[in-house]
Each structure stands twice: as C-alpha cells, then as structure tokens.
Amino acid sequence: MTAKQGIKKPEKPRADFPLYALSNGQWCKKIAGRHQSFGPWEDPDGAEQAYLDWLARKRLNLPQPKPGEKTVDEIVDLYLDESAERVERKRLGQKRGLSAKTHREHKRHLLWFRDQVIDGHRVGSRAVASLRPDDFSKLYQLIPAHYSCDSIRHRVTYVNGLLTWAADNEFIDRVPATGRLWRIPTRDEVEAEKTSSPAKVWTRPQIKKLLASANPQIAAMIYLGMNAGFGNSDCARLKVDEVSGTWIEVPRGKNGRPRKAWLWPETVKAMKEARKACPKPRRGCEDLFFLTHTGGPWADEETFFDGVGDEFGELKRACGFDGKEFKGVGFYAFRHTFAEHASNATGNNADDIAVKHVLGHLELAQLATYRREIAKPRIKRVCERVRAWFLSGSGNQASNKQKQGKK
C-alpha cells in the first residue's frame, strides 16, 4: 500500500474502535511489532469485522483464512442468489423452478445460521472450512426451545443442504463434519411430541359448526380440504378448468406430483354455490376458481399473502375455537383430517397408495417408476370412506382433547 499524500487521516468512528488509521489508507492494528491492515478507511465496519474474525480465529486456535477461501456469508449469498433465480424460472414456467414460499424458507433458516454468534464470533464471518463439530453442537443449542420437531428438522436440513451445495459447486473442498448432536429429531422424539400435542384434525361437530358460519367460498374450501386433502395454496391456485363434474385433477403445487380426487355430492354443491358468490374477477384472475371480495386471488407468493388462512382464522375465532387446545389447528388441519380418516381403513378397504395419490405424496420409489395411473375406483373408495365418517359421525375421533368451542 502506498501512502495517501496530503490526505488527512480519518478519526476513529468511536472511542473504543480497536483499529487506527494508517497513512496507506487502511485501518490497521500493530501485531507482533508490525502494522497489519484489515480494511480501507471507507469501510470501518468491514475492517473491524475482519479484525474480530482474525482475533476469534486466533483465540479458537484456527488457521487464518487462505486467499479465496469462502466464508459462510459468501456461500449463503451465492446460494440465495441461485434460489432466487429458480423462483424466476418457475414464474416463467421453466424447469427446475422453485416456489417463492420455499425460497422464503431457505432464506429464513440460512440467515439465522449465519447470524448466530458462537464464542463471541458471528458464524457468517467464519470460513466454511473452519467450522467444527463443536460449533454445530453449540448451534443446535441456539435453536429456540419452542421449536417443534418439524421446525428443527427443517432448520438442520436447510443448513446441511447449503453445505452440500457448496461442496458440489466446488466453493469448498468438502462438507464440514457436523458431529452427532447436529441432527434431525429421531422418530421416537417425533412420536413423543405428537402424543403430547393436540391433534391437528377437526372433529365432525366442529366442522359442522364451521360450515354453518362460513361464507360460500370458505365453505367450499373446507369441503375440498376434508374431501380432497387440499391445503391453503391448493384452494387459492385452483383454476376453473381443473374441475370437471365429480372429479378434480391437478398436480400438487408444492412438488408437481399428480393428484386427483372424487368429489362428494356435498362438495360439488358447495363449489357451485361458491362460484355463484364470486365477484367479478380482476384482470389476470379470470381463470381462478375462488376469488376474494375484491375479485383478486386468495394468495400471493410475492408478498406471502395467505387469504385462506386469514379468513379461516377469523371464522375459527367466531366459532369459539380459539383456546390453547386449538393452537396450530388451522385450515391446513382439514388435510390432516382427510389423511387420518382415509388411511384408517382396514382389510380390503386399506389403500395407502390411493391415499398418497389424493394427497400428492410420493409412493414407494420402485412402484412409482412403473405405475403411470391410479385407478379411479380406488381413489373414489378412499374419498367415500371420509364422507361416510363425516355424514355418520363414525370413525376415529382423534381430537377428543379439543373442546367443541365456547358455549
């Protein structure tokens, strides 16, 4: 670095700033009797962070970064840039796209990862190669205590996916060892949590009460939830031409897997009533089956608007289902309700493959390779079983813990 002739050195940004301005235009620290530069005058924050990174490595007895070695900050930025490009590809209808919702999940978990502080040092400023199993053990302890097993699984899986992606793209030489404590919850832990939590299903009396108070569009969505395993986004993106008579056939938006369902007479009637109640569509929404009161879509991936969840939340509170036993039991619980009663058949009525098809889940890989179609009678049979439960009140009332609402 050459000296900046005739230029006044800047003052320290604050009294306890650990570096000093050297005439070569750099913020420096005297180490072992020599000036060591950490960044230009124009970026005191970056220089301080570089110094703290150097200091933490020294305290942790880690090697100093090699030229070109990627930090966690850098690979997170690169990964999220590629993820955003995949969202755009999906918007344009191209292959290997990614939903905006999944991109948001990637971003949330990975920003958490890089912003954690271990031993007084921010993870993002560390070189990926410097991460050790002990670091991941400490990271695991920083996951919020209220997180469910499913949330922990997502967090660990997304971070592991980032590291694998970085190695596959040769940004790092190898995936860092994460140790035995950084792991997804075991099956026993998941089952223990499930038995200690309220069941995320709706009972027949509760559904009847919700339907009695719902507007025509929400009522039709409720029927689709418990008849066809539809979730919030499935209802919001449903198009008019995807409904034909007593059958509905549309790929699952989350994974593109084929799915179809036989519609109950009650569902068909509710959907006709919903169409009658639809307002005039706004421009660009003419093909949507369900429309908000303003004629717009019930969801927006760009802004993460979930009108179905919001509207159902108001209905749920109006019906008195707002106690702690209903925490986490929202519109998506109708999908759980369908799965529970459709899959509880025994003997010749049991058909988990047909249930998976209605839900848009992946069946056994070997079978999926050869099977191109699921026979409609099999699909109709699992849908009829849930209808029989709903109309007669028979079946497994899994959520007896839940009250029937405020009287």
Contacts of 392 (CB under 8 A, 6+ apart): none
Q: What is the mean pLDDT of residues 17-25?
A: 92
Q: How far apart are CA 74 and CA 53, in angstroms?
A: 14
Sheet holding 20-21, edge to edge: 20-21, 26-31, 34-40
Residue 403: predicted pLDDT: 42
pTM of the model: 0.68
Contact 402, 322 (CB under 8 A): no
In degrees, rounded to 5, the angle at the alpha carbon of residue 344 between the alpha carbons of residues 340 and 347 is: 160
pLDDT at 347: 55
Determine which of 50-54, 75-79, 134-138, 278-282 has the lowest per-residue pLDDT on average.
Answer: 50-54
Q: How confident is the model at residue 401 (pLDDT cuts 50, 70, 90)?
A: very low
Percent of the chain with pLDDT over 70: 88
Q: Among 94, 113, 102, 198, which residue's Cα sits nearest to residue 155? A: 113
59: confidence class by pLDDT, cuts 50, 70, 90: confident
- C-alpha 16/C-alpha 380 separation (Å) is 72
Spatial separation of the C-alpha atoms in residues 72 and 123, rounded to whole Å? 7
Q: Is a pLDDT exceeding 60 seen at residue 369? A: no
Please give the pLDDT value at position 67: 67
Distances (CA, A) of 240 to 223, 275, 281, 288: 17, 9, 12, 6
Please say whether the dihedral angle defined by the alpha carbons of residues 343, 348, 349 and 351, taken in this order, is positive or negative.
positive
Least confident piece of the model among 47-51, 329-333, 363-367: 363-367
- pLDDT tens-digit profile of 83-117? 999 989 888 878 888 888 889 899 999 999 999 99
Question: pLDDT category, 363, cuts 50, 70, 90?
Answer: low
pLDDT in tens, 187-244: 999 989 888 877 789 999 999 999 999 999 999 999 999 999 999 999 999 999 888 8
Q: Is the pLDDT of residue 65 over 70?
A: no
pLDDT of residue 216: 96
Q: Three-class SS of residue 34?
A: strand
- Where residue 96 falls (left for φ over 0; alpha for ψ -120 to 50; beta otherwise) is left
